[in-house]
């Protein structure tokens, strides 16, 4: 594939003149003559950097990228990494370009994580070229940058299904492919897992390589240090690649612009990158080493080590002190450098743990991503030529936004309210809070454990902290919740976003366990809003509960469209009081959280069959509204508890109470509806809910089944 037919010289000239108003048909000329054109010509489109946004929108200046998928002749020949082994460096570069455009066009069709994948294209190519997956283990931390890896390891034809029901996972997954050696989704786990794989290899007497790729954001988590500390001690051969793109928080911007790095580690890393003033001293040290060299290997090595320690800047000594040999910084977009270094490290026999500090740029290669403040970290479907995302207009806003507004309204009135999050300013909506109260919003980096204990410390001083962490990420901080907050009865408020099933992110981000693990704690108040107005009231309730910890959970997705309280200020609810939404007979549905909406849907389905159900919103799992449960149990034959959580949650607490209170000794039947005892795979929210069996139809069918009307049950389900 070395043929470059210059069949369109006129067009080439047009491309090189600046400010050419390029029409979309121009790029299609390239795509039509597929095999004849040298793909390097396409670089002319986007290699020039334009100055950032003046008033004129980008589309007025003409599209800065292809609108059609460009031909990828080299990538078409690569199905597995083994097909890459005979490529020359020039071909590797071409492969990287084709891979990049492939990623962009795939993500433009499906949505997903774009910026991070673009930043590691060259690194992925270099890794697969030098190492022999799957015998050599390559681990990708978090996994959202693994799109190029998936394309190169036999899943290119399935990329159009990524993050969809029955499609590829958006993160690495062991059951999907043998090239994904470890499942990721939460961050900072790869060094630990990689060390485990390295030690396992040593115990079994094998000799493959283990490479763990981790980002600078994930480095802010404690587990990365625990792992490096252990790696340094055990001294097993492994390679850690620190992918440094200076984006420590997500999204990598707040509402007003790029986020400056959070924490001291980032400045240490950037000092590593720019060591200029000490360079001369280093030259001297090198000269001394050279002189000493020759037969005195050990002494020379010692001198070199001291020299490096002296002048390597405080950052490299951090890794060196932990016992990893530091190499870098390295330009992460230069394939020659990467291949040279990786080959060298691979060929060295006994290295112990090595850390290669690679500097990349998030969103590299796609002009719109490079310029965007959030570097197109996570995008919906978009148009590749203009970078415009297709965001559907919903009539209501997300629960996340409502939460942020509610918290702002509370904080206006109460000066002691502060918000804490762990590197998720955008995902938790706290960027809005940050903009309104810049000194009262704390981003601690990816450190949930620290966030919880930090909140506990704040609460000791009379501050009212709202710890806003995704339900599934709070799992990390469970001991801190139990020991530091609940045991001491400190009034920390936990706002658990993404509770229940979360859609495309899949089981790694699914918040199914929070009712279970929060409601079993003795001092915790556990509540869940059934709609956005209730969310406002519960934020106010949590703000008012000042003598014990409290938590509330809300799902991903948009509100249902109820009226919001005036000026976004909720009214505290009486703790331990539920409410009845629909009065009926014989069967009562007691819902917890947004499952109440599914219950209402089921009730309306049953109306057409002549049955009227009672629907109640429990609001509190702890303390339970005992009077409500007693009255429901006494006046109905059947009580069904519904929640979008695992076993051991709301339903179990109701059952426990009913059993102890003697309510199950008569003719009352109790049935629970919970998430099934298996992980629900990623897909669209409706598909997931159907898979879990919690749709209104499923609830109605359950009622029919209990009533003995199995025919109607089947009818509803089909």
Partner 1 sequence: MRCYGFTPIQGSDSRLFHLPTTRLINIPNSNSRFSFSHSSFFTSKLVSATCMPPVSLRTTARAAVNDGLMTEEAAAASGLSFYELLGIPESGSLVDIKQAYKQLARKYHPDVSPPGRAEEYTKRFIRVQEAYEILSDPGRRALYDRDLAKGLHLAFSARRQYQSNEGMEERGEWKNRWQAQLSGLKRRSMNKDADGNLSWGARMRRQRDELANEL
Chain residues binding partner 1 by CB under 8 A are 51-52, 54-55, 199, 202-203, 205, 207, 233-237, 246, 256-258, 260, 273-277, 279, 282, 286, 297-298, 300-301, 304-305, 308, 325-331, 334, 337, 341, 344-345, 348-352, 354
Three-state DSSP state, 530: coil
Q: Indicate the residue among 106 and 220 with the shorter CB distance to partner 1.
A: 220
Q: Give least dist CB 304 to partner 1, A.
A: 5
Place of tokens 């460096």: 89
Q: How many CA atoms lie within 13 A of 509 on its CB side?
A: 23
Place of tokens 């990786």: 342
Shortest distance (Å) from residue 233 CB to partner 1: 7
- Residue pair 575/545 in contact (Cβ under 8 Å)? The answer is yes
Q: Given 201, 476, 493, 553, which residue is catalytic?
A: 476
Nearer to partner 1, 202 or 321 (CB): 202
DSSP element (H, E) containing 469:
strand 464-470
Catalytic residue among 155, 156, 163, 362: 362
Rank residues 302 and 391 by Cβ distance to partner 1 and give the closer one.
Answer: 302
- Cβ distance to partner 1 smaller for residue 435 or 548: 435
Specify whether the backbone of 503 is left (phi greater than 0), alpha (psi in -120 to 50) or beta.
left
Q: Do the Cβ atoms of 95 and 152 come closer than 8 Å?
A: no
- Please state the three-class secondary structure of 395-463 as a single string: CCCEHHHHHHHHHHHHHHHCCCEEEEECCECCCCCHHHHHHHCCCCEEECCCCHHHHHHHHHHHHHCCC
Quote the CA–CA distance of 398 and 420 in Å, as a whole number: 20
Q: Which is nearer to partner 1, 207 or 656 (CB)?
A: 207
| Centroid of chain to Cα 714 | 39
Contact 81, 126 (CB under 8 A): no
Token pair 């390239």 is found at 30
**Dihedrals phi, psi of 443, to nearest 5 degrees:** -105, 115
Q: In the complex with partner 1, which residue's Cβ is closer, 33 or 309?
A: 309
Entry field: residues in the chain = 718
At its nearest, how many Å lie between partner 1 and the CB of residue 63? 22
Write down the least CB distance from residue 338 to partner 1, Å.
10
Among 42, 448, 534, 712, the one annotated catalytic: 448
CA 686 to chain centre: 21
Per DSSP bridges, beta strands 238-244 and 210-215 are parallel
Rounded to the nearest whole angstrom, what is the least distance from the CB of residue 280 to partner 1 in the complex?
8
Count Cα atoms within 13 angstroms, Cβ side, for 437. 22
362 assigned to active site: yes
Q: For helices 121-130 and 335-347, give the axis angle rounded to 10 degrees.
A: 40
C-alpha distances in Å from residue 145, one per residue of 112, 141, 150, 188, 485? 10, 8, 10, 14, 35
User: Is the Cβ of residue 354 or residue 492 nearer to partner 1 in the bound state?
Assistant: 354
User: Within a 13 Å sphere around the CA of 431, how many CA atoms are in the beta-carbon half?
Assistant: 20
b/e string for 116-134 if b means 16 or more Cβ within 10 A? bbbbbbbbbbbbbbbbebb
User: Can you tell me the distance from the alpha carbon of 664 to that of 654, in angstroms, rounded to the nearest whole number?
Assistant: 11
Let me know if 476 is a catalytic residue. Answer: yes
Nearer to partner 1, 309 or 676 (CB): 309
**CB nearer partner 1, residue 130 or residue 168:** 130
Rounded CA-CA distance 649/121 in Å is 43
Q: Give the CA dihedral 138, 143, 149, 151, nearest 10 degrees.
A: 150
Question: So which residues are the catalytic ones?
Answer: 362, 448, 476
């Amino acid at each position: 594939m070395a043929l470059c037919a210059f069949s369109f010289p006129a067009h080439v000239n047009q491309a090189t003149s600046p400010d050419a108003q390029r029409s979309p048909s121009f790029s299609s000329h390239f795509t039509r003559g597929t095999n004849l054109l040298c793909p390097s010509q396409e670089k002319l489109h986007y290699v020039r950097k334009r100055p950032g946004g003046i008033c004129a929108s980008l589309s007025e200046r003409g599209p800065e990228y292809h609108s059609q998928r460009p031909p990828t002749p080299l990538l078409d020949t690569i199905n597995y990494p083994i097909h890459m082994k005979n490529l020359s460096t020039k071909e590797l570069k071409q492969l990287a370009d084709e891979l990049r455009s492939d990623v962009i066009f795939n993500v433009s069709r499906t949505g997903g994580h774009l910026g991070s994948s673009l930043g590691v294209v060259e690194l992925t190519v270099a890794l697969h070229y030098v190492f022999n997956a799957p015998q050599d283990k390559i681990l990708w931390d978090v996994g959202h940058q693994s799109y190029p890896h998936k394309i190169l390891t036999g899943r290119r034809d399935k990329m159009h299904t990524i993050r969809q029901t029955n499609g590829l996972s958006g993160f690495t997954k062991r059951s999907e492919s043998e090239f994904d050696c470890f499942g990721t989704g939460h961050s900072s786990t790869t060094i630990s897992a990689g060390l485990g794989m390295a030690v396992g290899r040593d115990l079994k007497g094998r000799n493959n390589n283990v490479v763990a790729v981790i980002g600078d954001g994930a480095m802010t988590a404690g587990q990365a240090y625990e792992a490096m500390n252990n790696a340094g001690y055990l001294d097993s051969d492994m390679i850690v690649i620190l992918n440094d793109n200076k984006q420590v928080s997500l999204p990598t911007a707040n509402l007003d612009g790029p986020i400056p790095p959070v924490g001291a580690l980032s400045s240490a890393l950037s000092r590593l990158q720019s060591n200029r003033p000490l360079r001369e001293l280093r030259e001297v040290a090198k000269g001394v080493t050279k002189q000493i060299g020759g037969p005195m290997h050990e002494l020379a090595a010692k001198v070199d080590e001291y020299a490096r320690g002296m002048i390597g800047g405080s950052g490299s000594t951090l890794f060196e002190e932990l016992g990893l040999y530091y190499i870098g910084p390295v330009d992460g977009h230069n394939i020659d450098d990467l291949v040279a270094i990786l080959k060298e490290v691979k060929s060295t026999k006994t290295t112990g743990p090595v850390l290669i500090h690679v500097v990349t740029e998030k969103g590299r290669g796609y002009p719109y991503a490079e310029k965007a403040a959030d570097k197109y970290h996570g995008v919906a479907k978009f148009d590749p030529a203009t970078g415009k995302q297709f965001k559907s207009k919903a009539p209501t806003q997300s629960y996340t936004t409502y939460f942020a507004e509610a918290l702002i309204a509370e904080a206006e009135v109460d000066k002691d309210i502060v918000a804490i999050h762990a590197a998720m300013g955008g995902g938790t909506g706290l960027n809005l809070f940050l903009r309104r109260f810049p000194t009262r919003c704390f981003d601690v980096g990816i450190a949930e454990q620290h966030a919880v204990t930090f909140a506990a410390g704040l609460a000791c001083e009379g501050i009212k902290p709202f710890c806003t962490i995704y339900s599934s990420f709070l799992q990390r901080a469970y001991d801190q919740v139990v020991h530091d907050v609940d045991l001491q009865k400190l009034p920390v408020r936990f706002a658990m976003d993404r509770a229940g099933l979360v859609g495309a992110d899949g089981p790694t981000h699914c918040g199914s366990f929070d009712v279970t693990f929060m409601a079993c704690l003795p001092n915790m108040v556990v509540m869940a809003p059934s709609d956005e107005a209730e969310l406002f009231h519960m934020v106010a309730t949590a703000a008012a509960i000042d003598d014990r910890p409290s938590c509330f959970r809300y799902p991903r997705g948009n509100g249902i469209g109820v009226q919001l309280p005036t000026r976004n200020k909720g009214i505290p609810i009486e703790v331990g009081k539920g409410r009845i939404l629909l009065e009926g007979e014989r069967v009562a549905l007691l819902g917890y959280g947004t499952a109440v909406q599914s219950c209402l849907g089921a009730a309306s389905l049953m109306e057409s069959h002549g049955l009227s159900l009672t629907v109640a919103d429990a609001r509190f799992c702890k303390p339970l509204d005992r009077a409500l449960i007693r009255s429901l149990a006494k006046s109905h034959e059947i009580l069904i508890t519904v929640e979008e959580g695992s076993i051991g949650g709301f339903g179990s607490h109701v059952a426990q109470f009913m059993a102890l209170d003697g309510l199950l000794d008569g003719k009352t039947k109790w049935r629970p509806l919970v998430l099934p005892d298996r992980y629900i795979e990623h897909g669209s929210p409706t598909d997931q809910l159907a898979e879990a069996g919690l749709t209104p139809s499923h609830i109605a069918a359950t009622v029919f089944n209990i009533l003995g009307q199995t025919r109607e049950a089947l009818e509803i389900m089909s």
